Amino acid sequence: MSETVNEFEFERRFFCRELPPEYDDGDTPALIVQSYFVYEDNYALRVRLKTRRVALDMTPDLDPREVLEEHCDDFTRAYVTVKGPSVGGTRYEAEREIDTRIAVELVRRGGKPIIKNRYSVWIAEDGWSVDVFGGANAPLIVAEAERATPVTNLTIPKFCVTEITDQPRFNNDGLAGRPFGEWKDDFERELAATGPQFQQFFGKNKME
């Protein structure tokens, strides 16, 4: 009989303008180059490569494929992942680790690439990932709190500007299809008009 595996991720995600220095422990962030072979209707098929051996600034002129070619031997982990639509902070996700050499060849051959640095920080009782995007998605910064169960009664740090948990345009697969750089001005106008929004059906938000 096959072993039961939890193939759902539970997360809340937030738009940010910076990662404050007090949350940066000085460790090299994880450099991620990933390519989306499916990115439609919130369904995704992704190949991801990761390493901490390479430190790069996430600038708008950064080309993910050029970085891949220059550092193809530096990536230490690789994964293939499938995802379903996100509803209420819950999303189907199944992932398998693969050989980095195969992952490099897959990304070379297709998909829509994304590049980012991922910082890992501990805030209150939760581990957070803070993604700083480069290339066509610069200067986007997204913070994410993920748990094995629904993310309720969350302590939200002050650097989180507004919640984007159920906004598919901010999903990485959404950014592959339409990069942030193409609509960031529209988003800023929208944010100025509506103000920050934080969802209220995940228990009690605790603002840091």
Judge contact between 59 and 138, C-beta under 8 A.
yes
Q: Looking at the domain assignment, is residue 1 inside a domain? A: no
Q: Give the SS3 label for residue 114.
A: strand
Q: What is the pLDDT of residues 22-45, one digit of tens each?
A: 888 788 999 999 999 999 998 999
pLDDT for residue 3 is more than 80 = no
Confidence grade of residue 6 (pLDDT, cut at 50, 70, 90): low
Record the pTM.
0.93
Which residue from 193, 204, 202, 119 is spatially nearest to 159, judged by alpha carbons? 119
Judge contact between 62 and 134, C-beta under 8 A.
yes
Confidence grade of residue 4 (pLDDT, cut at 50, 70, 90): very low
Beta bridge partners of 93: 83
Spacing of C-alpha 109 from chain mean position: 22
Segment 9-23 shows an average pLDDT of: 92
Q: Residue 50 sits in which domain range?
A: 8-207
66 φ/ψ angles, rounded to the nearest 5 degrees = -65, -40
What is the pLDDT at residue 111?
Answer: 94
Q: Looking at the domain assignment, is residue 138 inside a domain? A: yes
What average pLDDT is seen over the chain?
93
| CATH number, position 153 | 2.40.320.10
Q: Looking at the domain assignment, is residue 2 inside a domain? A: no
Q: Looking at the domain assignment, is residue 107 inside a domain? A: yes
Q: Looking at the domain assignment, is residue 64 inside a domain? A: yes
Q: Looking at the domain assignment, is residue 3 inside a domain? A: no
Count of domains forming the chain: 1
